[in-house]
Amino acid sequence: MERQEEEEEQRLIWKSEAEESMVSVTIGRAMAALLTARPKKLHHSISRLSTDFSDKTSLVSLDECLWFLHKYVKDAVQRDETLDAVLVPMIEHSLKYKDSKHGGQPIILLNWLFQDELLFQAVAMNLANTITRKDDRYIAFGWCTLVRGLVEYESSMDQFNFNVKILGLENFMFCLLVA
C-alpha cells in the first residue's frame, strides 16, 4: 500500500511532458516561498520536518515547500536531470541579498540538502556545473557569491562550535575543482 502511494506521488510529479510546466510552476512557487521565508522560520521548519515525507497531514505551507523541494531534487537526481530550477533561484537570491542579513536562505537550503548523502554529490556537481553551462555574468557573479557564502557559513559554524555543519565541504570544493 505504501509503495503504491509512493508510485502515485511519482506519477503526479513527473507524469508527462505536457505537465512539465506544472512542475516548473510548483517548484518555482516552492523556491519563492523558501527563499523569502525568514531564516529562523526556515531553520524551524527544517528541524521539525520528519524524514518520513509520507506523513503530509501535519504539514503547513513552508513544510510542504520543503517536502516538495526534497522530492523534486531526489527525482531529478534519479533521472540525471539538471537542478537549474532549484539552483538558479538560489544563485539569484544570493546575489540580490549579498550585503543583507536576509540572504541566508540558499545556504540553509543547501546545508539541508547536503545532509542527504544520496543527494549531496549530485547537488554539489550540479552547482559546480552551473557555472560552466550558464554563459551569463549575473549568474556567474551570483554563483561566486553563493559559494563564498557556503564557505563563510562553514567557517562561522566552526568558529561558534555549532553542531550544524555542511557535510563534506571539502568534497564540494573538490567538485568545484573537477568541474
Residue 168: left if φ>0, alpha if ψ -120 to 50, beta else—which one? Answer: left
Q: Which three cell numbers stand for residue 128?
A: 559546480
Q: What is the pTM of this model?
A: 0.71
Which of 38, 94, 92, 86 has the alpha carbon at shortest distance from 62? 38
Distance CA 91, CA 145 (A): 8
**pLDDT exceeds cutoff 80 at 8:** no
Looking from the CA of 73 toward its CB, the CA atoms found within 13 Å total 27
Q: How confident is the model at residue 150 (pLDDT cuts 50, 70, 90)?
A: confident
Mean pLDDT (whole number) for 58-83: 87
pLDDT band at 51 (very low <50, low <70, confident <90, very high): low
pLDDT of residue 140: 87
Are 62 and 37 in contact, with CB atoms under 8 Å apart?
Answer: yes
Res. 57 pLDDT band, cuts 50 70 90: very low
Q: Does the pLDDT of residue 34 top 60, yes or no?
A: yes
The residue-averaged pLDDT of 80-97 equals: 92
Query: Would the pLDDT of 83 be above 90?
Result: yes
Which residues are CB-neighbours of 77 under 8 A, at least 6 positions away?
A: 83, 118, 119, 122, 123
Q: What is the reported pLDDT for 134? A: 76
What's the mean pLDDT when you consider all of the chain?
A: 77
- Count Cα neighbours of 78 within 13 Å in the Cβ-side half-sphere: 8
pLDDT of residue 163: 41
Q: Which of 21-30, 74-83, 124-133, 166-175 has the lowest mean pLDDT?
A: 166-175
C-beta separation of 68 from 78 below 8 A: no
Q: What is the pLDDT confidence band of residue 50, given thresholds at 50, 70 and 90?
A: low
Least confident residue range of 36-45, 144-153, 160-169: 160-169
Domain range summary for the chain, segments of one domain joined by +: 2-178
